[in-house]
Amino acid sequence: MGEIVFLVVVTALLGGFGYPLIIAYDWYLFLHIFGVVLFVGNIMVTGAWMFLAERTGQKEVLKFASRVVNWADVAFTAPGIILIVIGGLTISNNRWGGPLATSWLMAGAALFLAAGVVWVAFLIRYQEKMIKLTEDSRGADKLPSEFFSVLHRWYFWGVVATILPIAAAIFMVVKLSI
């Protein structure tokens, strides 16, 4: 399985840097769309998990949910990003002259990049902080109020990080020129 993944990634990278397509264009498009589904789907699902975990009010459920969000980022968000970037570079270079060739490609890429900045600058940091706060509260009956403060900031930036790639997808699908 690892060899197949390696071959797909190398093939897509070569296509993204202008080399002739090794696999059919439609496969690059499929990988790109699959990456978008993984990426946006995981963002939405983890937000729902945390919201539902908070509603239980149970410390152990929130502790578990905080850890699962990080695990889901590794298992789904990161591979989604890789597929989006590799597929997007290959598709844009092959059909439109690169990601900076048209206004809708630039807008979509900029929105996707902005979502990445939000993810790195806020969401990962807040996720790590929530995990630390759950671990530091061992022996206590409930989580500290700081946990919920961090969680609510995570919700805010999570909504921002969800809207940005959805807007990027709209630009890509509609080819909306600005």
pLDDT, tens digit, for every residue of 88-103?
A: 888 888 788 877 888 9
Q: How many of the other CB atoms lie within 10 Å of CB of 178?
A: 8
pLDDT at residue 143 greater than cutoff 60: yes
Question: How high is the pLDDT of residue 160?
Answer: 98
Percentage of the chain modeled with pLDDT above 70: 88
